[in-house]
């Protein structure tokens, strides 16, 4: 009987190994996170604007285009703003006809987003990015500082105000010319006052990130297209709202016209390119933009009965309705709406979640729930990746086969020894 004592042990070992193998094969985590929203993955412009139609975004020789900006895990401003279709509150009235690919309507003071269409869809800003440049200027430069224009400023791709090489202008005059007539020569001059174009862009993008405009990357101070350019309807509204807190900006954006030093002496009259200033009741100002890739863009605001609204439209068309008239219709729509909304213009970039550490040792229940290393088993990656389960199962079966053959030979040898003894 002594020669047969390994048999019960073998059975117990085999049973244990079978259970371990089955557990590993069927319970091994895959290590692949599931998307939080199937709708988010279907949004065409979730990461980048549509493909360009010209060569303006081709990188310079020897350089690479920057990759897409990271898409936040949760939509800035609320979950509904991650949708890429029409976003309205319950029982909302029918909308007017809008041709813009992305738009947003919000209350400036409360920050409530009243309605939107693909608000975080990434588009090109064109000249509405000058609002971000103007905000940096208003934040960092005194209005009475004198800047001298250079030949490099004048050589910028126009629209241009008509600066004179060696001409001197105050920052206040340049800011007004930037917002009224959208001068690219002026944008370049102001960028130099901020320490040069690369430094100005760094400041613009840092401010956008600080505001929570995480879809935005300025690649030129003027809004001319370039590799990696990006913004969204949500971001443009957020930036405009922030800029309106600076009196220099708010005073300049509402001007219908201003006198500006002429290239040949004397002064010239600059008129605002925002037609709503003269045609819409309560208009507070706005900014238009256009490039072949961006198409028509607009951001503007108006006030009625103590209520201030901002509207943004990106990648719009001028037919059958001009982009500023579409903005007017959306503003009318917003002023007719009651309180409430579908999201929020944030007051700063969302803060990353802090990791919580503890000096207390985990108890047995916590250790079991977290797999012994503080991570949830539901989200912890498998040590073997997606193929860990099958590999574990094959290895376990091979071990079982080897053990079975070992003990079978051992039992046969014991029987032969017993027969010889007899």
User: What tens digit of pLDDT does each residue of 293-327 get?
Assistant: 999 999 999 999 999 999 999 999 999 999 999 99
Confidence of residue 350 (pLDDT cuts 50, 70, 90): confident
Statement to judge: residues 400 and 326 lie in one domain: no
More confident residue, 379 or 130: 130
Per the residue annotation, which of 102, 127, 181, 222 is the catalytic one? Answer: 127
Encode pLDDT of 201-231 as tens digits: 999 999 999 999 999 999 999 999 999 999 9
pLDDT given at position 353? 67
Statement to judge: residues 195 and 263 lie in one domain: yes
The token duo for 31 is: 């290590």
Q: Is residue 349 part of a domain?
A: no
Statement to judge: residues 278 and 322 lie in one domain: yes
Statement to judge: residues 83 and 191 lie in one domain: yes
Per the residue annotation, which of 56, 102, 130, 287 is the catalytic one? Answer: 130
Given a cut of 80, whether residue 161 has pLDDT beyond it is: yes
Given a cut of 70, whether residue 369 has pLDDT beyond it is: no
How many domains are contained in the chain?
2
The range of the structural domain enclosing residue 376 comes to 2-32+370-421
Per the residue annotation, which of 56, 102, 181, 182 is the catalytic one? Answer: 182
pLDDT, the chain, mean: 84
Confidence of residue 357 (pLDDT cuts 50, 70, 90): low
Q: Is residue 172 part of a domain?
A: yes
pLDDT given at position 380? 37
Please tell me the number of Cα atoms within 13 Å of 80 on its side-chain side: 17
Statement to judge: residues 315 and 412 lie in one domain: no
Given a cut of 60, whether residue 9 has pLDDT beyond it is: no
Q: Is residue 48 part of a domain?
A: no
Smallest CA-to-CA distance from 191 within 152, 241, 243, 230 is with 152
Any catalytic annotation for residue 182?
yes
Q: What is the CATH number of the domain that holds 295?
A: 3.40.710.10
What percent of the chain stands above pLDDT 90?
A: 71
Given a cut of 90, whether residue 240 has pLDDT beyond it is: yes
Q: Is residue 355 part of a domain?
A: no
Q: Is residue 292 part of a domain?
A: yes
Any catalytic annotation for residue 127?
yes
Statement to judge: residues 122 and 209 lie in one domain: yes
- pTM: predicted TM-score of the whole model, two decimal places: 0.76
Statement to judge: residues 26 and 169 lie in one domain: no
């Amino acid at each position: 009987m002594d020669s047969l004592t390994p048999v019960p042990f073998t059975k117990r070992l085999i049973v244990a190994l079978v259970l371990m193998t089955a557990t590993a094969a069927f319970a091994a985590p895959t290590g692949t996170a599931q998307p939080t929203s199937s709708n988010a993955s279907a949004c065409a412009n979730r990461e980048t604007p549509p493909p360009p139609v010209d060569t303006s975004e081709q990188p310079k020789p020897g350089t690479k285009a920057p990759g897409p900006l990271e898409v936040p895990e949760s939509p800035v401003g609320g979950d509904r703003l991650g949708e890429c279709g029409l976003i309205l509150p319950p029982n909302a009235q029918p909308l007017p006809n809008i041709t813009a690919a992305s738009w947003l309507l919000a209350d400036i003071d409360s920050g409530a987003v009243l309605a939107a269409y693909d608000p975080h869809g990434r588009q090109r800003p064109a000249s509405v990015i000058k609002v971000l440049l103007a905000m940096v200027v208003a934040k960092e430069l005194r209005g009475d500082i004198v800047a001298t224009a250079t030949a490099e400023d004048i050589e910028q791709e126009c629209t241009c105000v008509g600066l004179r090489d060696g001409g001197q202008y105050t920052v206040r005059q340049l800011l007004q010319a930037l917002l009224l007539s959208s001068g690219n020569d002026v944008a370049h001059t102001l960028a130099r006052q901020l320490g040069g174009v690369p430094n100005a862009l760094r400041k613009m993008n840092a401010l956008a990130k600080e505001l929570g405009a995480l879809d935005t990357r300025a690649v030129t101070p003027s809004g001319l297209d370039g590799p990696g350019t990006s913004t969204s309807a949500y971001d443009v509204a957020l930036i405009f709202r922030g800029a309106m807190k600076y009196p220099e900006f708010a005073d300049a954006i509402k001007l219908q016209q201003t006198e500006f030093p002429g290239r040949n002496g004397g002064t010239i009259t600059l008129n605002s390119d925002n037609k709503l200033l003269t045609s819409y009741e309560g208009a507070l100002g706005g900014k238009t933009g256009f490039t072949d890739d961006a198409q028509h863009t607009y951001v503007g605001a108006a006030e009625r009965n103590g209520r201030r609204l901002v509207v943004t439209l990106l990648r719009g068309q001028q037919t059958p309705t001009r982009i500023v008239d579409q903005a007017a219709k959306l503003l009318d729509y917003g002023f007719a709406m009651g309180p409430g909304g579908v999201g929020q213009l944030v007051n700063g970039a969302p803060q990353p979640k802090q990791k919580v550490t503890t000096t207390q040792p985990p108890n047995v229940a916590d250790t079991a729930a977290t797999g012994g290393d503080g991570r949830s088993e539901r989200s912890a990656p498998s040590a073997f990746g997606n193929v860990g389960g099958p590999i574990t199962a094959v290895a376990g079966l091979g071990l079982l086969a080897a053990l079975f053959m070992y003990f079978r030979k051992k039992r046969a040898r014991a029987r032969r020894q017993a027969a010889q003894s007899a």
